[in-house]
Amino acid sequence: MRIMAQVCMVMNIDKCIGCHTCSVTCKQTWTNRPGTEYVYFNNVETKPGLGYPARYEDQEQWKGGWELDRKGRLRLRGGSRLRRLASIFYNPDLPTIDEYHDPFTYDYDRLITAPAGTKSPSVSARSALTGRDMVPSWGANWEDDLAGAPARALHDPNIEAMSEKVKLDFESVFMFYLPRICEHCLNPSCVASCPSGAMYKREEDGIVLVDQDRCRGWRFCVSGCPYKKVYFNHRTGKAEKCTLCFPRIEAGLPTICSETCPGRLRYLGLMLYDADAVMAAAATPDAEDLYEAQRDVFLDPNDPEVAAAAEAQGIPHDWVVAAQRSPTYALIMRHRVALPLHPEYRTMPMVWYIPPLSPVADAATAVGYEENADVIFGAIDTLRIPLEYLANLFTAGRISPVRDALRRLALVRTVMRANQLGQHPDVDLSDVGLTEDDAEDLFRLLAIARYEDRYVIPPAHAEQAGRLLAQHAQTGCSLDTDGGPGMGGTEDDGSGVESFHLNRRDSDDVAVAGRDATGRLHLLVNETPATGGAL
Amino acid sequence: MSGTQGITGFQLLWWVILPYLALTTFVIGHVWRYRYDQFGWTSRSTELQEKKLLKWGSPIFHYATFGAIAGHVIGILIPESWTHAVGIPENYYHWFSAAAGTAAAVGIVVGIGFLAYRRLFVPRVRATTSAVDWLTLILLAIVIALGIAETVGVNLLGSAYDYRQSVALWFRGLFVANPDVRAIANAPLLYQVHATAAWAILIVWPFSRLVHAWSYPVWYLWRPFVVYRSRVAAHPNEPGTSGRRWRSIGTRY
Ligand code: HEM
Ligand code: SF4
Ligand code: SF4
C-alpha cells in the first residue's frame, strides 16, 4: 500500500445559481492575457447542453481519457505511444478554436472618440485572433439557461446516450448548472499523453501541472484530457491548465473559484488514497462499477492503521489530521452524496459533485405536492429523465447511486425542516442508510458550514519553502508574459510559501517586444498584439 | 589547407569563412537558446487555428523533409568511393537518387504548398507569424526550390551534374578542416545559391521555431505513463556550485 494525499474538491450543484463569478475571478487571476482569451480554467455550463468546448463529452469523436483493450488492459483512447509519435505533425483529435469560441473584443475607442452627432456610435465584435471584424456564433457560455436548447440540447452526448423513449419526453424540461474545473485526476490521461513529460502530478498534493519550460507544444495533452481542461495558449505555443491555485493551496487557502463563490457551494479537503490500487481500479471491467471502484481506492484517515502508515510513509502529521477533518471525505465516503463526473473516462477524477435535487423537487412542488419524503421519493423514481441524465453524468449510467444520493438529500431536508417547525416527521433515516448524527452532520455541512469547515487545507510545509519557489518559477513563467498577472517567483524575497502577494506587482508592468517582465526572452512570441490589427 | 593557390579572397570568405561562421552560430546559438529560452522552445503549433489544411500539409511536408535530409546524408556525407566499394554501380546509384529524390521533392512541394497557402491566406494563421517565422519560411522555400531544380531539373531530366565529385568534396572537407574550395567555386550557380541559403538556414535555426526538431520525444516510448514530481525533488543548486550548470546572472531560487 502506497499512501498518497490529494487535494479534492466537491461542488454542491443544487446551490449553483449560474452567476459565473467563479469563471470571472479565475479568469482575472490566471488567463486574462493574450493567447488565453478563449481559455476558462473554470467554466459553468448549463445542462443539458453541448458544453465547452462543444460536445467535449463525445469521446468517440475526441478520443480523450482511457479505454480497455480487448484483454481488459487500460490504454489511452487516443491510441498507442507509437501512434502518437507518428502523428505528432498533426494531431487528429484536437478541437479547433471554433469548438471553444473565436475570442473577441470591441474597439471601445470608437465609442469614446466618436464625434458629437445624433446617432449613437456602435462597434462590432473584433476577433482577438485576427483583429478583423467577426460575428460571434458560439461561446463558452452560449447556451446559458438553455438558450438555443430546442436546436442544440438534444445533441448533448448525455442525452444522446439515453433510451429513445426518454428523448421524446424532453418537453418535460429540466436544467441545472455544472461548474467545471480540471479534475486533478488520480490517473490523469493528459499527463500520460504528453510525449515530452512536461506534465506531472505533484506527489504531495496531487495537483496536475504543466512545466512551461519543458512543454514543446505537441498538443496531445489537450486531446488526451476527456474533460478538455488543458488548453493551448496560441501565442506562446504551450499548454496551460487549471493549477488548482497551487500557490494558494500551499498557503492553506482555498482556490480563487471556491473563495469567491457566492453560493458557497465548493468544499476542499484532503483524500488519502492507495496509489498502488489506482491502476486496477481504473481498469474495472464494467464502467458502471467505476464509481464504487474509485471509492475503494480512498483510505479511511480515521483508521489508526492507515494514519500510522501514512505518517510512516512521510505524510506530515498535520496533513493526516486534516484528512480526518476533510469535508470532501465526509461527503464522498461517509454520506455518499458526492459523485464523480464521468467516471467512465477512467481517469479517476477528483472533483466530485453532489447531484442536484432541484429538478426533481421542482417538478414535485409544481404539481402541488408538499415537499415531503414520500412524495419526493416517488418523484425521484418517476422522474426518470433527470435521473437517467444525472446517471449518465456521474455514474456511467447506473441509476442507483444517484437515486440513493438524492434520497439522502431529500430526507435530510424533510427531517431538518420538520425539526425546525417542531414537528415529528414520520421518516426512517435508516431507509437511506443514515443515522441521526449523519443527518445532522450532513445538514451542517450542506447548509451552514463555515469557511473553516468547508475548506480544510493544510499548508505546505515551511521547511520545503525554498524548494517550492523553484516550481513557481517553472509553472508561473508564462503568466509573466503578455500582460500576465506577474506571478513569477524569481524576484521574490525567497520566503517560499508566502511568495504569493496579491498586490506584489502592478500588473500593467508587462512584457514588451517578446521580453517578459522578468527579462526572460521569448523568441517566438509575435510582438504585435493580434487585436491591434496584425494585418 | 590543400591548394589555396588560385582562390580569391572572396571565395575564401564565401566558401570557407561563411560556412564556419554558420556552423559556429548554429552550435553556440543552440546552446544559448537551450539555456536561456526553454520557455520559447516549442513547435508553435497553429492547429488550434486551422486543421483541415494542416492535416495534409504538415505530415507530408515533414515526412518528405526527413526523406530529403536522409538523401543529403547519403549523397553528400557518404563518399562516392564507399558506394563503389560496396559494389553499387554509378549508374544504379544515379537512378536511385534521382527517383527517391524526386519522390521527396514532390512530397515537399505538395506539403509546403498546403503550409504556405494557410500561412499566407488563412488570417488566423497569418496573424501568428512573427518576423523570424517569415525569415525561416522564406529561406526554406529558397533552399527547397533550388534543391528541386537540382534533383528534378538537372539530375532527372537534365545533364546529371555529378555533385558527389564536387560539392560533396567541399562540404565534407569543411568537417576535416580541408574544404575543396575550387570544387564549389566552379559548380553551377544553382548549387552555389542552394548551399549558401542552406548556411543561412543554419544561422537562423537556433533562433527560430526550427529548434522543435531536436525535441522529438523518442523516450516517451519507454517512460512511465503518469509522471510524478515531488515538490522537493528539484532542489536547485546554489548558483555556481553545481559545476554542470550555468545560468543567467540574476536568476534566483
Ligand atoms: C523530429 C522532428 C520534427 C517534429 C516532431 C516536428 C513537429 C512539428 C510540429 C508538431 C509542428 C506544428 C504543426 C502545427 O501547426 O500543429 C511543426 C511545424 C513546422 N516544422 Fe516541424 N517537426 C520536426 C522536424 C522539422 C524539420 C527538420 C523541419 C525543417 C527543416 C521542420 C519544419 C517545420 C516548419 C517550417 C513548421 C511550420 C509549418 C507551418 O505551420 O507553417 N520540422 N513541426
Ligand atoms: S481533468 Fe485535469 S488531470 Fe484529468 S485528464 Fe483533464 S487536465 Fe488532466
Ligand atoms: S482552482 Fe484556481 S485555476 Fe483552477 S479553476 Fe479554480 S480558480 Fe481557476
Query: What are the cell numbers at A242?
Result: 487549471
Position A517 in a domain: no
Query: What are the cell numbers at B53?
Result: 489544411
Q: Which residues of A touch B223 (CB under 8 A)?
A: 197
Q: Where are the domains of chain B?
A: 9-222
Give the pLDDT band of residue A172 (cuts 50, 70, 90): low
pLDDT tens digits along B161-190:
777 777 888 888 888 888 888 888 888 888
Query: What are the cell numbers at A21?
Result: 463569478
Q: Which atom of ligand 1 is the closest one to the Cα of A88? A: 10
> Å from A121 to nearest chain B CA?
27
Q: Which residues of A touch B54 (CB under 8 A)?
A: 90
Position A120 in a domain: no
- d(CA A90, CA B189) in angstroms, rounded, equals 37
A510-526 mean pLDDT: 42
**Domain total of chain A:** 1
DSSP codes joined into one string, A440-459: HHHHIIIII--HHHHB--PP
Which residues, other chains included, contact A402 with Cβ-Cβ below 8 Å and sequence gap of 6+? A339, A355, A387, A390, A391, A394, A395
Pocket of ligand 3 (CB under 6 A): A 26, 30, 41-42, 181, 242-245, 255-257
- What is the value of ipTM here, to two decimals? 0.85
pLDDT value, residue A214: 93
A97-114 mean pLDDT: 90
Q: Is the Cβ of A202 closer than 8 Å to some Cβ of chain B?
A: yes
Give me the percent of chain A exceeding a pLDDT of 70: 81
Q: Is the Cβ of A306 closer than 8 Å to some Cβ of chain B?
A: no
Q: Whose CA is nearest to atom 3 of ligand 2?
A: A184
pLDDT tens digits along B190-209:
889 999 999 999 999 999 99
| Ligand nearest to the CA of residue B141, numbered in listed order | 1
Position A530 in a domain: no
Q: Ligand 2 mean position to B168 CA, how many Å? A: 51
Query: What are the cell numbers at A403?
Result: 437515486
Q: Which residues of A touch B235 (CB under 8 A)?
A: 467, 470
Give, in order, the Cα–Cα distances in Å from A270 to each of A325, A393, A400, A461, A465.
9, 24, 26, 15, 20
Taking alpha carbons only, the member of A258, A207, A256 closest to residue A229 is A207
| pLDDT averaged over every residue in chain A | 85
pLDDT beyond 50 at A317: yes
- Number of A to B CB contacts under 8 A, please give it: 186
Give me the percent of chain A exceeding a pLDDT of 90: 64
Position A242 in a domain: yes
Q: Do A234 and B49 touch (CB under 8 A)?
A: yes
Q: Whose CA is nearest to atom 31 of ligand 1?
A: B210
Q: Across chain B, which distance is largest between two alpha carbons, in Å? A: 66
Strands B228-229 and A199-202: parallel
Position A347 in a domain: yes
- d(CA B48, CA A427) in angstroms, rounded, equals 56
On whether the CB atoms of residues A98 and A138 are closer than 8 A, the answer is yes
Position A418 in a domain: yes
| Ligand nearest to the CA of residue B47, numbered in listed order | 1
Q: Do A470 and B234 touch (CB under 8 A)?
A: yes
Could you list the residue range(s) of the whole structural domain that residue A197 is in?
A: 1-15+26-39+183-502
Q: Ligand 1 mean position to B43 CA, how many Å? A: 6
Give the pLDDT band of residue A366 (cuts 50, 70, 90): low
Q: Across chain A, which distance is largest between two alpha carbons, in Å? A: 79
Q: Ligand 2 mean position to A482 CA, how many Å? A: 25
Sign, CA torsion A227/A229/A234/A236:
negative
Helix H or strand E encompassing A230: strand A230-233
For residue B192, the tally of other CB atoms under 10 A from its CB is 17
Q: Do B44 and A197 touch (CB under 8 A)?
A: no
Cell 529548434 belongs to residue: B211
On whether the CB atoms of residues A64 and A78 are closer than 8 A, the answer is yes
On whether the CB atoms of residues A5 and A317 are closer than 8 A, the answer is no
3-state secondary structure of A16: coil
A17-40 mean pLDDT: 95
Position A455 in a domain: yes
Query: What are the cell numbers at B135?
Result: 525569415
Give the pLDDT band of residue A20 (cuts 50, 70, 90): very high
Specify the CATH number for the domain of residue A211. Answer: 3.30.70.20
Give, in order, the Cα–Cα distances in Å from A515 to each of A35, A477, A522, B126.
15, 12, 6, 22
Tell me which CATH code domain B9-222 carries.
1.20.950.20
